[in-house]
Structure 1
Amino acid sequence: MPDEPTELAVGESFVTSEEGDDLRVETTRSEEHLFTTTYRDAETGTLRLALQVDITTGSAAIDPRSYDADFWTLVVEGLPRPDLDLQSALASVEEPGIEVDTDRRELHVQSDDA
């Protein structure tokens, strides 16, 4: 995941996806140390995922209401886990780190210290 640009003012956004991508990826500085990145279907605008990153701790959190299980494949510690829901995947890893692979439509959950 690219480094979050700390020069954005609270409330400002920028789009990191390219024209023609399947997903429109937009990052907003929602609070002083919080950035929210949304992943939306580029054609329909349907929200597929919202990820919040705290730049002081590096921790990431997903709004579970935003997670589109039909769109993403969960990959836990390197293994595809279609049998798990998001809550179970996050609970199965101690101090989970989250990485989004938009090209493969994968949500990677792995130990943050790995």
Structure 2
Amino acid sequence: MHLLPLRRAAHDIFNSAACIALVTPVGKLNPPAEAPLSGLFDLTQAEARIAHALGFGRTPRSIAKDLGISYETVRNHLKTVLAKTGSHRQADLLGLSAGTSPPRSESDHIRPESLA
């Protein structure tokens, strides 16, 4: 179960809520569809399309080729998706999409020097 903050356009639908609970089974085979991704994280249609494709294990290069856009465009969308979902790496985004991990905050990162 994930508690996701509601931002921007999501307040149009959930006007009196601060967050939404998202319950997904661990090990889910298919990532969420583009529309829920867009609504939950305030992604544009292009960003949601790329996040959805990544959820199926596609690479940014293959997504660019299939969509007929440049690799740099996909990378730029991916950077925005990571920022909007609170993910720091593509692997974090995949875990969030699969329902196996929540978005991580800076305080969740353990730095080696802090263990000494």
- TM-score with structure 1 setting the length: 0.26
The structure with the largest strand share of the pair is 1
The structure with the largest helix share of the pair is 2
Answer 1 or 2: higher relative contact order, Cα 8 Å, separation at least 6.
Answer: 2
Bigger CA radius of gyration = 2
- TM-score with structure 2 setting the length: 0.25
